[in-house]
Amino acid sequence: MKGLRLDLTVPPPITAKTVALGSRAAPEGSCMPMKLNLGNFMEALEQGADTIIMAGGWGPCRFGWFAQSEADILRDMGYEFELLVLERPDAGWRELPSRLKPLGARTGWPQRVRALRAAWQKLLAVEELEDSRNHFLPRARDKNAVIRLYEQGRQELERCDEPAEMAQINQKLRRSLQSLPQHRRPVPRVGLVGEIYTILEPAANYNIIEELGRLDVECLCSARVTDWVNDHVLGGRAKASEREHILRLARPYIGDTVGGRGQETVGEAVMFARRRAEGVIQIGPLGCMPELVAQSVLPELSVNENVPVMTLWLDEHSGSGGLQTRLEAFADLLRRGPAREEAR
């Protein structure tokens, strides 16, 4: 956005206030992502934003009507703004320039290309940073030191615009993490699958990746922003894609799309099991239809692939204490892994 010379208003980090604002404004039965979206937008509009830019969608998932519904709710509340919906250009990647054209009105094509390239490089750098945290957190004796180093690296990346400097930041972080004392206990690996927003937004998943790391469990994330952009916007041209492989793994259980990432959830669960993950956790917002469909086949998948699977439905009423108890019990189950490995 900065590269496109747009005046950007970033909503503040999600807090209890954000959740409360969105929950009061959302219709009864709305899922947590919609409530958090509304809270984000309300806080940004209060800070002076006059335009909302949001992705669109299609298919059985309710996300397809989020943008228009949220706009109607906010306008009924008295907010005035423009809405720009970026629909997924699955009809063809050549459609992408026309979709992005309103964002580039202040710049020429060279500046737009540079801005998109810089954004892509920063996304890759942030994901590399998160991979380092996910690997070292469960192995380090001092968990807080890992989180401090990760936050420091994230802040440095936020201020950085040069790919070479981004690489240096990640290399420095990895060296710092490697220097931390490590314990020698076994570290089981868990594949995290489910609805993409719930996986990517810590406020929506109650910091499940960090919580698992503090329990000495490594979290393998299935959902990445770069994978989604690569598969659905860039036609798999920016980097190697596993999407077709994942969908093939899902077809014995779910043969066609069910909206959202329901089919991917099943395929990724199979993939993690076959890549020797000790367990799989499915997470999603309460009432998410695609993930409910995926959950219906996970018991059979768990037996066929000999992998423990746990499903967590999350909303604003989910208690962190109850969630912690379930994660601790699942981590204990995974540590009783030798018998399972012999069975496999």
Give the Cα separation of 232 and 212 in Å (integer). 30
Highest mean pLDDT: which of 96-100, 219-223, 283-287, 300-304? 300-304
Query: What is the reported pLDDT for 340?
Result: 45
Whether pLDDT at 95 is above 80: no
Nearest to 247 by CA among 224, 269, 230: 269
Q: Give the least confident one: 87-101, 135-149, 207-221, 278-292.
A: 87-101
Compare 316 and 200 and report the one with higher pLDDT: 200
At 344 the pLDDT is 44
**% of residues, the chain, pLDDT over 90:** 68
Q: What angle do CA 134, 325, 302 make, to 5 degrees?
A: 70
Which pLDDT does position 90 carry in this prediction? 55
User: Which secondary-structure segment (H or E) carries 16?
Assistant: helix 16-25
The pLDDT of residue 91: 53
Residue 233 pLDDT = 75
How large is the average pLDDT for residues 232-249? 89
Tracing tokens 């980090």 back to the chain, one arrives at 13
Q: What angle do CA 183, 186, 189 make, to 5 degrees?
A: 115
The pLDDT score that the predictor gives to residue 342 is 44
pLDDT digits (tens, 9 = 90+) for 180-237: 999 999 999 999 999 999 999 999 999 999 999 999 999 999 989 999 888 877 778 8
pLDDT tops 70 at residue 10: yes
- Which amino acid appears at position 181 of this protein? P
What pLDDT band is residue 97 in, cutting at 50, 70 and 90? low
Tokens of 163: 């790919």
pTM of the model: 0.90
Of 63-72, 298-307, 318-327, the range with the highest mean pLDDT is: 298-307
| 3-state SS assignment for residue 325 | helix
pLDDT at 12: 92
- Centre a 10 Å sphere on the Cβ of residue 144 and count the other Cβ atoms it contains: 9
In the chain, % of residues over pLDDT 70? 92
User: pLDDT at residue 125 above 80?
Assistant: yes
CA dihedral 12, 148, 187, 269 (to 10 degrees): 20
Name residue 291's amino acid: E
Specify the 3-state DSSP secondary structure of 326. Answer: helix
Q: CA-CA distance, 251 to 305, in Å (whole number)?
A: 15
* Tokens at 317, concatenated: 């009423």
What type of residue is 188?
Answer: P
